[in-house]
């Protein structure tokens, strides 16, 4: 729920104005409105709104000019402006941002989605959705009803409309459905940890890739001569799949990543090579004062084995230090790990030790081993909580289930 606010709405279309007013009033907000920019400028100061919603295409003064004039007034310069328009071009989105708008919502409007969009923009939350939390193999059936049976796919969405997707395991199919249901043009950055099957094999079923007008950038680490483009194409070539990447209708860029730092629209991305066969990247995403780390697949060797690497553990702890949410491969209990040493995945005690060292705020365990049932995962979660308590750590631990959402 969006806490009650005062909205001033500007739209030249009488019906739209009525509809937006109704949606807002029904949700407990106070509303005043005007049918032109000039009228809005005359009355807006007296109403003292928390937020101005404006259309773009209006006679005389368009919505972007209204944004500029509002921002030029000292008593209104901090007023949050959201553009509500039928125009769905990148050019207009950029122009609205340049004119001072903090958000952009496209018509047609549906009440629940509209209020949810307003909330996302005004509260400026980072929204984390889980679409698949199982490792190695999808495991449908009665043993995986609680946590879900899909392989890794996690998304982060931001108030500025950026959508980051991590991995394209079978969970991405449900994300695909959810995005199509919302409608409109889809644009996203897709970060692949590594090209093992459980992290890429549902990419060909991500329908938005086939739709003209959508835009994606697919990023991940190179493997020898094979860049991201070749790695994605290879699983869709010849006898392995009947459709090739040439059938993708969306505009798609591929980007090979190393250990590096870069920024996308005010969101910082950092990468780190993980302990796993081949090149596997972990990601740290920072937005304003918040951060989320996505670390899978990854083996933190315990001190009892010769491969133990304190230098690597310290580096990883620095990488995830004090993050709000650490999403991490916790495939095994310590007991199960004994027969899986060198498989590239971590156990409870080492993950909890990392969380303690790095003073992680919330630990989210995932990439569960395919033989584990829901009850086994719940048991592993209890073991994590106990391990953290024994270490004197204040880290909160969660075993997220497919379909769950967290806000940061």
* Torsion of the alpha carbons at 345, 227, 127 and 70, rounded to the nearest 10: 160
Is residue 374 a contact residue for Zn ion (CB under 5 A)? no
Q: Which is nearer to Zn ion, 53 or 219 (CB)?
A: 219
Least distance to Zn ion, CB of residue 309, Å = 18
Part of the chain binding Zn ion (CB under 5 A), chosen from 12-20, 115-123, 190-198, 304-312: 190-198
Q: In the numeric block, which tokens belong to residue 55? A: 């259309």
Task: Give kind and range of the element (H or E) at residue 335.
Answer: helix 334-337
State the residue for tokens 């780390």: 293
CA separation for the pair 279, 50 (Å, rounded): 48
The 241-280 site mask, x for binding Zn ion (CB under 5 A), equals ----------------------------------------
Part of the chain binding Zn ion (CB under 5 A), chosen from 76-84, 121-129, 130-138, 227-235: 130-138
CA separation for the pair 359, 395 (Å, rounded): 7
CA separation for the pair 355, 42 (Å, rounded): 55
Q: Is 171 helix (H, G, I), strand (E, B) or coil?
A: coil
Cis omega (within 30 of 0) for bond into 268: no
Part of the chain binding Zn ion (CB under 5 A), chosen from 55-63, 80-88, 180-188, 189-197: 189-197
Least distance to Zn ion, CB of residue 397, Å = 21
Q: Which is nearer to Zn ion, 297 or 372 (CB)?
A: 297
Q: Which is nearer to Zn ion, 198 or 353 (CB)?
A: 198
Contact 122, 130 (CB under 8 A): no
Q: Which is nearer to Zn ion, 37 or 195 (CB)?
A: 195
CA separation for the pair 282, 274 (Å, rounded): 6
Part of the chain binding Zn ion (CB under 5 A), chosen from 37-45, 133-141, 182-190, 355-363: 133-141
Q: Which is nearer to Zn ion, 99 or 190 (CB)?
A: 190
Q: Which is nearer to Zn ion, 107 or 199 (CB)?
A: 199
CA separation for the pair 255, 225 (Å, rounded): 14
Least distance to Zn ion, CB of residue 356, Å = 24
Q: In the numeric block, which tokens belong to residue 113? A: 């989605």
State the residue for tokens 């990247």: 281
Which residues ranging from 86 to 125 are in contact with Zn ion (CB under 5 A)?
none
Q: Which is nearer to Zn ion, 198 or 402 (CB)?
A: 198
Q: Which is nearer to Zn ion, 44 or 274 (CB)?
A: 274
Least distance to Zn ion, CB of residue 138, Å = 12
Part of the chain binding Zn ion (CB under 5 A), chosen from 36-44, 183-191, 249-257, 292-300: 292-300
Is residue 196 a contact residue for Zn ion (CB under 5 A)? yes
Task: Give kind and range of the element (H or E) at residue 363.
Answer: strand 362-366
**161, 297, 299, 374: residue in contact with Zn ion (rule CB under 5 A):** 297
Contact 4, 46 (CB under 8 A): no
CA separation for the pair 231, 137 (Å, rounded): 19
Strand order in the sheet with 325-329: 261-264, 267-273, 281-287, 290-295, 325-329, 362-366, 396-398
* Residue 368 DSSP one-character state: B
Phi first, then psi, for residue 203 (nearest 5°) are -55, -40
Binding-site size, Zn ion (CB under 5 A): 4
Least distance to Zn ion, CB of residue 345, Å = 8
Q: Which is nearer to Zn ion, 63 or 135 (CB)?
A: 135
User: What separation in angstroms does the CA of 132 have from each of 53, 185, 210, 403?
Assistant: 36, 24, 22, 8
Part of the chain binding Zn ion (CB under 5 A), chosen from 3-11, 26-34, 135-143, 252-260: 135-143
The 140-179 site mask, x for binding Zn ion (CB under 5 A), equals ----------------------------------------
Contact 386, 350 (CB under 8 A): no
CA separation for the pair 267, 158 (Å, rounded): 9
Least distance to Zn ion, CB of residue 65, Å = 52
**129, 198, 369, 374: residue in contact with Zn ion (rule CB under 5 A):** 198
Least distance to Zn ion, CB of residue 196, Å = 3
Part of the chain binding Zn ion (CB under 5 A), chosen from 228-236, 249-257, 294-302, 396-404: 294-302
Angle at CA of residue 302, ends 331 and 136, nearest 5°: 20
Angle at CA of residue 60, ends 59 and 63, nearest 5°: 75
Is residue 369 a contact residue for Zn ion (CB under 5 A)? no
Note the residues at the interface with Zn ion (CB under 5 A).
135, 196, 198, 297
């Amino acid at each position: 729920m969006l806490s009650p606010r005062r909205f001033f709405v500007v739209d030249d279309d009488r019906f739209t104005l009525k509809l937006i007013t109704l949606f807002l009033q029904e949700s407990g907000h106070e509303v005043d409105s005007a049918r032109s920019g000039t009228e809005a400028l005359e009355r807006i100061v007296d109403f003292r709104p928390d937020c101005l919603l404006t259309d773009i295409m209006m006679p005389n003064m368009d919505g972007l000019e209204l944004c500029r004039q509002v921002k030029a007034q000292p008593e209104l310069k901090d007023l949050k402006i959201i553009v509500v328009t039928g125009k769905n071009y990148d050019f207009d989105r950029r122009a609205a941002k340049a004119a001072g708008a903090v958000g952009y919502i496209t018509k047609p409007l549906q009440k629940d989605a509209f209020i949810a969009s307003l909330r996302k923009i005004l509260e400026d939350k980072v929204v984390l959705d889980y679409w698949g939390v199982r490792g190695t193999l999808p495991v449908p059936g009665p043993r995986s009803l609680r946590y879900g049976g899909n392989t890794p796919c996690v998304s982060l969405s931001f108030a500025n409309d950026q959508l980051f997707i991590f991995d394209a395991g079978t969970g991405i199919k449900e994300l695909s459905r959810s995005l199509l249901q919302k409608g409109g043009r889809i644009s996203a950055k897709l970060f692949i940890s590594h090209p093992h099957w459980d992290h890429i094999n549902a990419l060909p079923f991500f329908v938005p890739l086939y739709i003209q007008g959508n835009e994606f950038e697919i990023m991940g680490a190179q493997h020898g001569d094979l860049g991201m483009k070749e790695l994605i194409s290879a699983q869709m070539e010849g006898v392995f799949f009947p459709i090739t990447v040439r059938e993708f209708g969306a505009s798609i860029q591929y980007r090979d990543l190393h250990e590096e730092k870069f920024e996308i629209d005010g969101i910082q991305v950092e990468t780190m090579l993980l302990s796993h066969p081949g090149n596997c990247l972990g990601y740290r995403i920072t937005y304003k004062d918040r951060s989320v780390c996505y670390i899978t697949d990854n083996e933190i060797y315990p001190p009892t084995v010769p491969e133990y690497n304190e230098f690597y553990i310290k580096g990883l702890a620095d990488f995830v230090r004090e993050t709000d949410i650490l999403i991490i491969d916790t495939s095994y209990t310590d007991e199960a790990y004994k027969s899986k040493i060198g498989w590239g995945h971590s156990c409870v005690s080492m993950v909890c030790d990392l969380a303690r060292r790095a003073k992680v705020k919330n630990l989210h365990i995932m990439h569960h081993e395919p033989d584990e049932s829901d009850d086994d995962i719940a048991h592993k979660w209890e073991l994590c909580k106990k391990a953290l308590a024994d270490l004197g750590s204040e880290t909160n631990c969660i075993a997220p289930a497919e379909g769950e959402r967290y806000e940061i």
